[in-house]
Amino acid sequence: MDFRALGASVRVAAPTVMADAVGLAGCGAVVYGVWLVSVPAAFVVGGVMAMIAAWLVSRSRDATDNGTAE
């Protein structure tokens, strides 16, 4: 196994993975905070966040497919 190639791959992917992990943790903290106040509102907030995330991923994929990635 080529550990240098593995290390290079990890170095390239690590910033993206960390940004996603921090974003998910932030969303989880917001939903948990809302849940402490009102359980039904937490489901609404979580659903809205999921729809926004799906929209952003879809937009990113479209930009990549069209060659207009930012």
pLDDT of residue 67: 64
Kindly write down the DSSP assignment for every residue of the chain, as one continuous string: --HHHHHHHHHHHHHHHHHHHHHHHHHHHHHHHHHHH-HHHHHHHHHHHHHHHHHHHHHHHHHHHHT---
Q: Does pTM surpass 0.85?
A: no
pLDDT along the chain (70 residues), means of 10: 81 84 93 97 96 89 69
pLDDT of residue 35: 97
pLDDT of residue 36: 97
Domains in the chain: boundaries: 3-66
pLDDT of residue 68: 62
pLDDT of residue 16: 82
